């Protein structure tokens, strides 16, 4: 079946602009996660959605970052007033749910470059 999909695959933007990154989780998965991967680094947790519960935003690095999940499915990560240090690959993952399930299925990521 279809895996996690993300769009766009690449995004180049100018410093100060806003960007929106989209994630389509695996159908039926109730948990959705966003991570950031800087060049040559591991994955940094950003935000976690579980069903209709309030999201865990503890990993968001600043108030310029926000995320929504509509209808318990598609999620959008928004970065306002982008900075050069925001350049990274943004990965989305989903899992079947039931709390923080560890076997997460990742999308291919969106590579963001802020000039």
Partner 1 sequence: GQQLNQSPQSMFIQEGEDVSMNCTSSSIFNTWLWYKQEPGEGPVLLIALYKAGELTSNGRLTAQFGITRKDSFLNISASIPSDVGIYFCAGVDNAGNMLTFGGGTRLMVKP
| Interacting residues with partner 1 (CB under 8 A) | 4, 33, 40-45, 56, 58-59, 91-93, 99-100, 102-109
Nearest distance, CB of residue 15 and partner 1, angstroms = 25
Nearest distance, CB of residue 16 and partner 1, angstroms = 28
Total residue length of the chain:
115
Nearer CB in complex with partner 1: 22/80: 22
Nearer CB in complex with partner 1: 82/104: 104
Nearest distance, CB of residue 105 and partner 1, angstroms = 8
CA pseudo-torsion sign 33, 87, 8, 60: positive
Buried b vs exposed e over 13-32: b needs ≥16 C-beta within 10 Å?
beeeeebebebbbbeebbbb
Nearer CB in complex with partner 1: 76/80: 76
Q: d(Cα 23, Cα 91) in Å, to the nearest integer? A: 9
Nearest distance, CB of residue 41 and partner 1, angstroms = 6
- Determine how β-strand 65-69 pairs with β-strand 75-79: antiparallel
């Amino acid at each position: 079946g279809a895996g996690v999909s993300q769009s766009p695959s690449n995004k180049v933007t100018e410093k100060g602009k806003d960007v929106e990154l989209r994630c389509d989780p695996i159908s039926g998965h109730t948990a959705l996660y966003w991570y950031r991967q800087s060049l040559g680094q591991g994955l940094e947790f950003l935000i976690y959605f579980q069903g209709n519960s309030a999201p865990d935003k503890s990993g968001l690095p600043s108030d310029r970052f926000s995320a929504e999940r509509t209808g318990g499915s598609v999620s959008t990560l928004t970065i306002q007033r982008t900075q050069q240090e925001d350049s990274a690959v943004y990965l989305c993952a989903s899992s079947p749910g039931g709390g923080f399930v560890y076997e997460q299925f990742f999308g291919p990521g969106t590579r963001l470059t802020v000039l």
